[in-house]
Structure 1
Amino acid sequence: MTRKAQPHAIPRWASLAAVVLALSLAPPAHASPAPTDPARFVTRSDSRLTLDGKPFRFAGTNIYWLGLDENVGGVAYPTFFRIRDALDTAKAMGMTVVRSHMLASTGNPLSILPSKEAGFNDAAFATVDYAIAYAGSIGLRLILPLTDEWAYYHGGHRDFTEPYGLPPEAFYTDERVIADYQAYAEHVMRRVNPLTGRAYNADPTIMAWEFGNELEGMTLDWINRNAAAFRTWAPRQLIAAGRRFDIDADTLAAPGVDIVDVHYYPPTAERVAADAATVTGAGKVYLAGEYASTAATKELLTPLAANRDVTGMLSWSLFGHHDRNGFVQHDDGFTLHYPGDDARMRAAVEAQAAFAAQVSPATGRPARVGPPLITQVDKRGGLNELRWRGAAGAAGYVVERARHGRWSAAHQGLLTDNQTPWIDPEATGEVSYRVVPVDRDGRRGTPSEPVRVTGSQVALVDPLQTTDLADGHANVTITPAAAVAAGEAWLSWSRPGLRRARFDVAGRPRIKVQVSDDGSTWRTVRHESGDGRVTAETEHESTGGQVTAEIEGAGHVRVVWSGGGGLTRATLWSADPAPVSAPPAAPAALTPAPGARDVLGTPAFTWSPSPGASFYTLTVSEHADLSDPVLTATAITGTEHRPPEQLEPGVTYSWRVTAVNAAGRTSGAVSSFATRPLPASPAVVDDFTGYADSAQLAAAYPGNPGGDPITPSLLPGQGMRLDYTLGGAGYAGVTRTFSPALDVWGQHGLELRLARTGAPAKITVQFVTGGVYFEHTLDAAPDGVVRVPFTAFDHPSWAGAGPLDLTRFEQLSFYAGGGPGTGTLTVGQVTAYPAP
């Protein structure tokens, strides 16, 4: 589904009575580790935090988008489900603190302070109110930065200087700007949350206010002035401050700062321990407010859990389930999903959960996970295709089907959130589905509500978290509990061949269901209430439960209601838009092309589409009759498949694609190709013979701009000399980019000739293939030839994961690290060497 890039409906809270409805809608999905009294404030005792007189340490994460999101359909308010699901996911991991930038925002039409001229936009607090209230209801604490060094969609400190035509650094010096920032901070802190009845500055859920995220220009005077103001407005909450990658000395010196926040991309246990000792030595509380989630390992976190100077570690950054299916995606390389999209992310999740258990052990048995929500049952070639909205804390799901009331699994094993939509390869005719979540301990959770379809029906479920699925609406207010009416309201949906509609109702609204053939002329139709009463063409007061109506093929349906209560869900059944009556056409093999030679070991198999196909099955074998296949993949919905494992080099393979639908299956012709043999000789990466002088070499190998000084020079007939001075950065390096990229496919590893003099240093060899980083560190550079197999290279902790595509060897870097001190590294010929 493509979301409309427009703001979601903004809730307006009518009364505090909404609290019970909103927060009882989705009770906590998981038991709290070390449950705390939410009415108690976290306090500081010198360099430690305490709660109820006991030490308070925590695992945490950043969920930056809770007030204003950028990841689903453009900049918009997140749905209440996404807020709730992400916080529940943090809870499921054992976390007790969440840091969130976008619970305060400026400079955007949807933010709390769109501009100085426009003034405050109090409607933007709706999602903020809910996030704070829900976090408190499940025992989570919050750290809230009030602005940002960086000008992202949620705004930053430049929003306070630009109205005066001032440069960014005036944020810390200009009296008008300081006054505007403080007025904004005070307005946020004094906000009374209608869901809790508490002002933000009186809510223990908010553990700390942070001046801003990674502020680089803070002065001691600026810190002291704002700390004094914050202490006046929020006397029982803590004050945090920090810059980006190191410790701001002024935050240590300022008496009003409670917490010093340090960020790491990547972290090391040694660096965190050293920083924690520095911060606690100054009498402040230390926490790592951000660290790369890709670096979360037990090797990193276990020693930090034992280090009492480390109060908290917060990974960057957590995303929960999408409203329709799968997860919300983000593209910065540090996205974290539970339980993890791949082996690396799963290990990072497990490491963070283990850290949480060490610093704040859980008590009690976790509650059941779930329920999920089936959001769509479509037809693909006559077979049912399911989408479901996941449940926080689910490690996987079982899709169950029933024909006559008895449920049974529709597949083997567990499906993940990344496997929705899922095609049922067997069921035709009338069938019911439900999705059962399974937690990390293998316990079945609460199943979704069933959805039943016939062999010619599809179903759409709208949980009414937004109005995005609707064709039109008026006077609708979205709340966490229901879509409620402001006066008389209506919602309409457009679906070809509508047959039936069901509306789940809360409270006692007056309801009528109408249909239309053209979307403009409406007629009220007979509908049945949950109390069994049938109403024909009149308005009906519902007593709660469900209202259903038979639509008989109209293209549009709408529900009109007013009075107390509202709608919590709409389920629409319509005719299969593309029924099939015959098997699909035969697909034709495209790539590898028939008879192709030197095909690489992980080719993309592609084929022509077959009209009417539900899915495809691919079979690959070393035999022309496809016996003993080395690869069989099924339920492929597209026309491409790349095998997860490499095929053997120098082998002739045969393959075939079969198209399947509800009426049968049709196989294409068998095609064959031969894979490229492994190379028998090495490939030169750089022999340093193509450079006229040191200047040309230095142009080809520029130094890393964030590192310490390093100077490359040419040693004719020997290689490259690197003279480095290690200091504050702790590393110095150079990088060559190859254009075009080198093809070193099939080689076993890198061979280089190294020599080092001067201060001891670790030498890191790094390369990039297909945009993915890999590196290997030598504790000491040997004086001579060293071989490093490609299997010894791993992704840096600060980088994202990806495949090793040696056909696109794009960059080569050499780094010296450690120190301080000066030294020289000589690099001779670099080759990619073949397997022994």
Structure 2
Amino acid sequence: MRLFRAAAIVLTLMTSIAVPSAAHATTTTKGFVTRAGAELRLNGKPFRFAGTNIYWLGLDENVGGIDYPTGFRIRDAIDTAKSMGMTVVRSHMLVSSGHPKTLLPSKEAGYHDAAFATIDYAIAYAGQAGIRLILPLTDNWAYYHGGHADFTEPYGLPDSAFYTDPRVIADYQAYVWHVMRHVNPYTGKRYIDDPTIMAWELGNELEGMTPEWIDTNAATFSGWAPRQLIAAGRRFDIDPDTLAAADVDIVDVHYYPPTAAKVKADAATVAAAGKVYVAGEYASNAASGALLDPLVADRNVTGMLSWSLFGHHDRSGFVQHDDGFTIHYPGDDARMTAAGQAQIAYAKALGGSVPARPAGTPLITAIDKRGGLTVLRWRGAAGATGYRVERAPTAHGPWKPAHTGLLSDNDTPWTDLSAPGNAWYRVVAGTTKSEPQFAGAAETVLVDPLESFGLTAGQAGVAIRPDGDHAVVRPTGAGPASVSWAVPGARRVRFEVTGGHHSDLAVQVSADGVTWRTVPSHREKDAITAGTPGAGHVRLAWTGRSHTGVTRATFWAADPAPVTGRPGAFPVVAPAAGATGVIGPQSFSWGPATGAGYYTLTVSRRPDLSDPVLSVTGLDATTYTPASGLDPATTWYWGVRASNAAGSTATPVASFTTRSLPSAPTTIDDFDGYPDSAALAAAYPRNTGGDVVVPTLTGDHAMQLDVTAGSAGYAGVTRTFTPLDLWGQQGLQLGLDRSATQASITIQFVANGVYWEHTLPAGTPSGTVRVPFSSFAQPPWAPSGALDLTKFTQLSFYLGGSDSGRLIVDDVVAYPAQ
């Protein structure tokens, strides 16, 4: 096939590439992991592990499109896994077909080997960190990084032909051989010679594998990579054909949600077949002591890998990915934090070590101005559990905390409410300190660590490659080379450089980004600085044959909106002045104040706002959602103050009255309105993933659920409503006749898109049952959210267990406080 080479990136263009040095590189991956029956071994000892999935290490969908992840994101995510005691990472980085930036954009285009750049770096860095890798080679699903359909579509064949057509199988094997024999320029090793790669997985969640396909490919790949392992698995449950395949070492099973009982049962089945059991994916928000503690002593359970880990964003905070199973460490909320701690405890129980210090160093990435006040952004450090912003009059101190307590990664951008004028700042994580950064009273700062060209306005003849804990931009050849930035109001610039001859670098400015002139610059050992008074565009140009590298660019610019006076007048919006029957309120909102740096919200029972029940300051948005509602049937007074470096302006005080609690129950379903069983069954369709359940209408108009036990172990029905307003009610009340079933009963509802459920254990007597809303919890497989009973939209009943039986439900209401 024709080899396609992209001009864009990066690493393989370099003549010599240093092995990356991991922040936690105390244990490199020495020696291959081997299999002895149903057990993995490393250096002669049993090897069990806690791990996670970092699927995007080769190609990332979380960068405002589809692009290669930066070296920082790769390092930070692997360091985060290491910080949690994890020793194995599963990554889809070699599922790479069907997109212009993948390894195999199309059969016609051929291989695009420039896409190996991030893959090479991730594998090398994982090896330095002591992390082993499980690498799927294709995917059952057509996600952005491709899958098995990319091998069948060129022939006009259905997906199922991936397992049967000789041409498709040959193409898939050719792709795998191209991958396996690739030489990593960081390590000098072919992938098949690298012990960092613990296992090759035939594909992610492959549905439809045949015994012949499994046997053929497992034998072929094992022959090509005899010191590495072969894994296989389908989406859910155990593929029985993988148990019988001679050359399959690891059987991979996925769980959404997992239970300890199911994991133990599956692990026993896999071990009995002489294979190694691994839970290649499980819902991360289900991680808990109840799930993981029972698995510690079960030697059939070799590995548990959560889905899925995301590290820090290149500029500030975390990379966001909304699939309901994202892990950020140490956690965005109490639920995620608890799940993360459960994974750490499991890792420790299996012998994993947790580093005492954060990996890497925080980096201040921007200092902006809002209302004349300093707004600080920083890039976090893997493993950091909190940050302290410190301020000083000089680069050497004395340093003092600029706030009380610790800040999290979700607290950036952070506003310095004291408006100190000229100041130096640094961000501290434990004992690790960022480089100090100066910001004048009327200027902003932009720091570009050059991990990508995302902040630049243009570049020519240069490439980026990771180097240690940073990136380096260097020329790629003998032609013109430059990098430019658009920085309105730029006053001065500092470029940090490494190697080569600084005299070959020129700092240039332009008013329009087209016509450039060179400005005088000051050259230090490792930096070049220059004044750029009022320039809208700044460029660094290589004027000779030097290969001097640039590792960072820092720009100081004039405050684009300097303060000329205190904020302008502005109104409160909601709750509206004089509003009655207000629920909560669920949020407060107000109009924007011209020149505001931040807002302070005050709520009180008193017209003068004294003795406030709610007082929140430092708000940069014009809305605020309180953690809990205010007392019902009460008149409240509230106002907002806008502040900046020159003073403050307050809204008039407004009042509103909250709604009274309901005194009567709200009927959810009394089953009296259904003319027959067909209408009832239409209103309560069964969950098709569960066992068979048939709803019928009894003679006295109740719902009868007859369950036929099957392999699923549960059966359920669900009714969807036009949103019901149950605000103020205390819980659900219903009549249950459980005399003909030994099953546990799970009551589940959805309110404002968030799932809540409560399980009545087997053996609970029949009769009228009350379940307070406070007893409902969010299930581990569902995304988090607040309880909002104003939008009650779904009610389900689930019978759990392996026995057939009958349940009768009647008169479901939401009951008020007594």
Same fold (TM over 0.5): yes
Residue aligning to 2:497: 505
The one of 413, 430, 447 equivalent to 2:405 is 413
Mark the runs of 5 or more structure 2 residues left unpaired by the alignment. 1-5
Distance 1:15 1:75, change over 3 A: closer
Q: What residue is the counterpart of 2:377 in the other structure?
A: 387
SS at match of 1:497: strand
- Mapped contact 2:575–2:585 kept (Cα < 8 A): no
Q: For residues 782-806 of structure 1, what are the alpha-carbon distances to aligned partners after superposition, in whole Å with 9 as ceiling and x for unaligned?
A: 3111111111111111111100000
- Counterpart amino acid of 2:539? R
Q: CA offsets per residue over residues 104-160 of structure 1, 9 Å max, x none? A: 311111111111111111011000000000000110000000011111111111111
> Are 1:435 and 2:400 matched, yes or no?
no
Residue 542 of structure 1 is matched in structure 2 by none
1:681 aligns with 2:667: no
Q: Note the alpha carbon deviations across 1:442-469, whole angstroms, 9 max, x for none.
A: xx23211111011111000001011111
Where does 1:594-605 land on structure 2 (aligned, <5 Å)? 594-605=577-588
- Pick from 371, 377, 381 the counterpart of residue 361 of structure 2: 371
In the other structure, the counterpart of 1:635 is 618
Map 1:40-55 → 2, pairs under 5 A: 40-55=31-46
Pick from 184, 205, 211 the counterpart of residue 196 of structure 2: 205
**Equivalent residue number for residue 528 of structure 1:** 522
Letter in 1 for 2:603: V
1:743 to 721, 725, 728: 725
**One-letter identity of the residue aligned with 1:105:** S
Are the equivalent residues in 2 in contact too, given 1:689–1:716 (CA < 8 A)?
Answer: no
Once the two structures are superposed, what CA deviation does each residue of 1:660-701 show, in whole Å capped at 9, x if it has no partner?
Answer: 001011111000111111111111111111111111111111
The one of 473, 477, 480 equivalent to 2:459 is: 473
* Structure 2 counterpart of 1:115, one-letter code: S
Aligned equivalent of 2:270:
279
* Structure 1 residues 539-550: aligned runs within 5 Å: 545-550=526-531
1:774 aligns with 2:745: no
The alpha-carbon distance between structure 1 residues 413 and 9, as it changes in their structure 2 partners (threshold 3 A), is farther
Structure 2: distance between partners of 1:247 and 1:602:
49
Alignment correspondent of 1:672: 655
User: What does residue 792 of structure 1 align with?
Assistant: 775
Shift of 1:59: 0.4
2: CA distance between counterparts of 1:298 and 1:746? Answer: 34
Matching residue of 1:175: 166
User: Would the aligned equivalents of 1:726 and 1:817 in 2 still touch at CA under 8 Å?
Assistant: no
1:368 deviates by 4.9
- Deviation of the 1:757 alpha carbon: 4.4
Question: Which residues in structure 2 correspond to 1:22-421 (within 5 Å)?
Answer: 23-24=20-21, 27-28=22-23, 30=24, 35=27, 38-362=29-353, 366-404=356-394, 405-421=397-413
Q: C-alpha displacement at 1:587, in angstroms?
A: 2.4
> Does the CA contact (< 8 Å) of 1:9 and 1:478 recur in 2?
no
TM-score (norm 1): 0.94
Q: Equivalent residues in 2 for 1:795-806 (5 A)?
A: 795-806=778-789
Out of 418, 428, 433, which is 1:426 matched to? Answer: 418
| Matched AA of 1:181 | Y
Cα distance between partner residues in 1 of 2:377 and 2:487? 17
Q: Secondary structure at the match of 1:469?
A: coil
1: CA distance, partners of 2:498 / 2:436: 19
Aligned to 2:12: 13
| AA aligned opposite 1:548 | T
Please say if 1:608 is aligned against 2:591. Answer: yes
SS in structure 2 of the partner of residue 558 of structure 1: strand
Q: CA deviation at 1:809?
A: 0.2
Query: 1:759: how far off?
Result: 4.7
Aligned to 2:445: 459
Q: 2-side partners of 1:565 and 1:264: how far apart?
A: 50
Q: Distance in 1 between matches of 2:736 and 2:661?
A: 27
SS at match of 1:13: helix
- Paired residues for 1:476-495 under 5 Å: 476-481=462-467, 482-487=472-477, 488-495=480-487
Q: For 2:809, which of 806, 818, 827 is the aligned residue?
A: 827
Q: SS of the residue aligned with 2:189?
A: coil
Which amino acid counterpart does residue 91 of structure 1 have in structure 2? K
Question: Using the alignment, how far apart are the partners of 1:516 and 1:16 within structure 2?
Answer: 33
Moved more, 337-346 or 481-490: 481-490
Q: 2:221 is matched by which residue type in structure 1?
A: F
* Contact preservation (8 Å) 1:65, 1:103: no
Q: C-alpha distance in 2, partners of 1:592/1:271? A: 50
Residue 3 of structure 2 corresponds to which residue in structure 1? Answer: none
Contact 1:587 1:658 in 2 (8 A): no
Can you give the 5+ residue segments of structure 1 that lack an aligned partner in the other structure? 1-6, 438-443, 532-544
When normalised by structure 2's length, the TM-score is: 0.96
Deviation at 1:216, TM superposition (A): 1.1
- In structure 2, distance between residues paired with 1:769 and 1:446: 43
Query: RMSD across aligned C-alpha pairs, in angstroms?
Result: 1.4
Q: CA separation in 1, counterparts of 2:739 and 2:208?
A: 39
Q: CA deviation at 1:165?
A: 1.0
Q: 2:511: which partner in 1?
A: 517
Identity %: 62
Number of residue-to-residue matches in the alignment: 800
1:9 CA drift (Å): 4.6
Letter in 2 for 1:165: G
- Of the structure 1 ranges 267-276 and 445-454, higher mean CA displacement relative to structure 2 is found in 445-454
TM superposition shift of 1:716? 4.2
Matched, 1:624 2:602: no
Is the CA contact 2:94–2:138 (under 8 Å) kept in the aligned structure 1?
Answer: no
Equivalent residue letter for 2:792: F
- Among 495, 519, 535, the residue aligned to 1:554: 535
Q: Of residues 675, 693, 697 in structure 2, which corresponds to 1:692?
A: 675
Report the alpha carbon displacement of residue 403 of structure 1 after superposing the two structures with TM.
1.1
Deviation at 1:565, TM superposition (A): 3.3
Residue 13 of structure 1 aligns with an amino acid whose one-letter code is T
Map of 1:716-735 to 2, 5 A cutoff?
Answer: 716-735=699-718
What amino acid maps onto 1:530 in structure 2?
E
Residue 446 of structure 1 aligns with an amino acid whose one-letter code is: T
Contact in 2 for aligned 1:370/1:445 (Cα 8 Å):
no
Q: Which SS does the other structure have where 2:18 is aligned?
A: helix
Partner of 1:705: 688
Whole-angstrom CA distance in 2 between matches of 1:360 and 1:11: 38
AA aligned opposite 1:735: T
Report the Cα distance in structure 2 between the residues aligned to 1:272 and 1:707, rounded to whole angstroms: 18
Which stretch has the larger CA shift, 759-768 or 569-578? 759-768
Does the Cα contact within 8 Å between 1:31 and 1:366 map onto a contact in 2?
Answer: no
Q: Quote how far apart the aligned CAs of 1:830 are.
A: 0.2
Assess if the C-alpha contact under 8 Å between 1:142 and 1:205 holds in 2: yes
Any idea what SS the aligned residue of 1:396 has? coil
- 119 and 235 in structure 1: CA distance in 2 versus 1, 3 angstrom threshold: same
Equivalent residue for 1:450, pick from 418, 432, 436 = 436
User: What's the offset of the Cα at 1:756?
Assistant: 2.4
Kindly indicate whether the alpha-carbon contact (under 8 Å) linking 2:741 and 2:807 is maintained by their aligned counterparts in 1.
no
What CA deviation, in whole Å up to 9, does each residue of 1:477-522 have, x standing for no partner? 0101301111331111111111000001111242110011121111
Q: Deviations over 1:159-207 (max 9, x none)?
A: 1111111111111111111111111111111110001000001000000
SS in 2 for 1:311: strand
